[in-house]
Structure 1
Amino acid sequence: MPTDATPTGASLEKKQLAVGTRDATDLYIIRSGKAGPVVMIVGGVHGNETAGYRAARIVRNYQISRGTLLVLPEANSRAVNQGVRYVSGQKDLNRCFPTSSSGAADTRLSREIYYTLKKYNVDWLMDMHEGYNYSRLNSSSSVGQSLIYYPSSSTREVASKIVNNMNSGISTSYRKFSLLRYPTRGSLSRAAGQYLGVKSFIFETCSRDSLSTRLNYQLRAADILLGSLGMK
């Protein structure tokens, strides 16, 4: 509910995607009441990547000073509930999004997530993920501790700012974040950047760090993004 500290015209709306299915999940729409960018932050695409969905749950309670913030904390709610990457019989949600400009997402859930980007004219997308190893140790098998963006000059500028901020507090070289390009095909971030023109990136922490450290990284990255846009 609005409080005395809530900007005039601000509102919080909760909607459900994939209503009436086992994959139903909540979308939070935080409006500042002032003109500005539209940012979407997603967690829980993989249900065993704990820091991502826990951080997104915190972000859903943010107040912003301008623009609109969409938060999908548990994109794959069934997988989150079971603590698995995706449940038996499901396709990996991070491979369910369009792989061509005329293509469609594979499932009702992925179609509704993708439609949300278009419906709200999302400008920026941050997809919170985790890898099981540090990318600087073995990037061919895991991209933990990295930011993977779809190339554009403005996306690179913010992405570099996030990575530099993270690395300034990390002394061990292999634990530092890497700045990578081109999210994997079929991912939400890749489809959003390539086919919708959204400034998009995946932010990956590493599950070898403590949960509190990973949460801190995820939230700092979200705060830097929003702060760069004058929203926080």
Structure 2
Amino acid sequence: MNPLLADASTAQKQSSKPKVKVETLAKGTKYATKLYIIDSGKPGPVVMIVGGVHGNERAGYTAAAKVKDWNIKKGTLLVLPKANVMAVDKKVRYLSKQGDLNRKFPKSSSQKGSNTLSRAIWSAVKKHKVDWLMDMHEGFDYYKNKSTSSVGQSLIYYPKNGTKTVATKIVSTLNRGISSSYKKFSLLKYPVKGSLARAAGQYLGVNSFIFETCDNPSLSVRVKYQQLAAKTLLKELGMY
């Protein structure tokens, strides 16, 4: 190939690579955390993927850290790998003085969140006009074990427009690779009140859901589940 054409081809590939910006949420506070903004430069959905709302749920923030390095075909991908950095660093669900972050988001249309971190994340969702939101979590047991209250191995969506269709596709894609019916993912409705997914769906009209792996399998398997769920979402939106 002509070297000039090769250079032009390389330049074209480089120019088409999404631009990545980093924004700090809750900047200047002890809760400061990084939001990665992957902009394809082409029109399309705005998708936000969140990990680390609970600091002891490793698969979520580990997978989100990988997702932030993905390329996309169109639209914008926002990734918040460690929403609750302090809890992640201490490997705890949440800090007692801070409270459970997944109960601190608006519970009415007039609220903005009940602590510094929830308000900063909520502000980012509104600022970037998020269309789809996936919040990565983990349960301590399988949802199908009715002797516990855990929702591990489930996708919990807020019912709005086409959310169920995409959620169903994600669950069916995951379940094709799981032989045990007991360990398959379940499709549930209505994330808990005070959660980011519930507030975004109910008050901002975002297509939102919580994706829960069960922490019984190995970490590598759980991370793969989280990544596959995120990849399926982006594929359904024509972004991956």
TM-score normalized by structure 1? 0.96
Question: SS where residue 130 of structure 2 aligns?
Answer: coil
Does the 8 Å contact 2:112/2:122 carry over to 1? no
Q: What are the within-5 Å matches in structure 2 for residues 182-221 of structure 1?
A: 182-221=190-229
Give the distance between the partners of 1:59 and 1:141, measured in 2 at CA. Answer: 29
CA distance in 1, matches of 2:195, 2:154: 16
Q: What is the CA-CA distance between 1:48 and the residue it aligns to?
A: 0.3
The correspondence for 1:99, drawn from 75, 100, 107, is 107
User: Residues of 1 paired with 2:14 and 2:33: CA distance?
Assistant: 26
The worse-fitting range, judged by mean Cα deviation, of 121-130 and 5-14 is 5-14
Partner of 2:83: 75
Paired residue for 1:227? 235
Code of the aligned partner of 1:81: D
Are 1:121 and 2:122 matched, yes or no?
no
Provide the identity percentage.
61
Runs of 4+ in 1 over 2 A off after TM superposition: 3-10
Cα displacement (A) at 1:140: 5.4
Hey, what's the Cα distance between the residues in 1 that align with 2:108 and 2:141? 30
C-alpha distance 139-23 of structure 1, shift in aligned 2 (>3 A): farther
Distance (whole Å) between structure 2 residues aligned to residue 96 and residue 88 of structure 1: 13
TM-score, structure 2 normalization: 0.93
Alignment match of 1:165 (pick from 141, 166, 173)? 173
Whether the 8 Å contact between 1:38 and 1:122 is mirrored in structure 2 is yes
Equivalent of 1:18, from 22, 26, 42? 26
CA RMSD of superposed structures (Å): 1.3
The aligned length equals 230
Question: How far apart are the structure 2 equivalents of 1:133 and 1:10?
Answer: 38
1:111 matched to 2:119: yes
Alignment map for 1:22-61 (pairs within 5 Å):
22-61=30-69
Gaps of 5+ in 2: 1-9
- The Cα of 1:138 is off from its aligned counterpart by 2.7
Cα distance, 1:8 vs. partner?
2.9
> Once the two structures are superposed, what CA deviation does each residue of 1:58-95 show, in whole Å capped at 9, x if it has no partner?
00111111000000000000000010001231110000
